[in-house]
Amino acid sequence: MVTLFALMAAFLVPNLSVSEQSKTDTFATHVEILFGEMSEYSVYSGELLALRITDTQLIPLRFASYEDGFQPYSADTGSIKPLALPAQLSVRWEDEDIDASQQADPDALTRWQESDDTITSSKEFGRKEVVPEVFFYPSGEASAGTLILYSDDVNTSVSHKITLNPLGRPSLERDNEA
């Protein structure tokens, strides 16, 4: 009987870690898709989109107006939906240090804000409690950086990296590809 339990445990433990890795791979792929969809939608809709990164989820946002600021993006269809972080993961966004020739046009947001579609009576740029980390501009540019997924609580074991280039193109790198 003890031998039977030992055998069952020997088969179960590796399967649990494979299952967690599979969930992490799936989540990383969903983040890559989310980055691509937000970039593409921002260009085609002409809207400023952003992504708020919290300890528990990634929240797509849409710039509503100066009075309302960024509001959660809502759609019945498509891939632009909040993503809940799996329990075993933590994330951190790192802005990319790039030279001036690769940076997004710093006046792109200003020009968009001054367009006829966005002029309002208030000049306050949204609510202070909602501060997005990643921006997707209607010009096709994005906040360049890397979303790092950690598979432990102390943020030392990197599992995946999803890099977003200045043109809004995401790329996924798994830990075993490094």
d(CA 129, CA 91): 20
Residue 24 and residue 149 in contact, taking contact as beta carbons nearer than 8 Å: yes
- pLDDT given at position 123: 42
- Which residues, listed in sequence order, are joined to residue 170 by a DSSP beta bridge? 164
Residue 115 and residue 65 in contact, taking contact as beta carbons nearer than 8 Å: no
- pLDDT given at position 105: 57
- pLDDT given at position 66: 82
- The tens digit of pLDDT for each residue in 34-62 reads 999 999 999 999 999 999 999 899 999 99
Residue 25 sits in a domain of what CATH number? Answer: 3.55.40.10
Weakly modelled stretches of the chain, pLDDT under 50: 2, 4-7, 14-17, 100, 102-103, 119-128, 178
- pLDDT given at position 79: 75
- pLDDT given at position 15: 47
d(CA 92, CA 54): 9
Domain count, the chain: 1
Q: What is the residue range of 156's domain?
A: 2-177
149 φ/ψ angles, rounded to the nearest 5 degrees = -100, 130
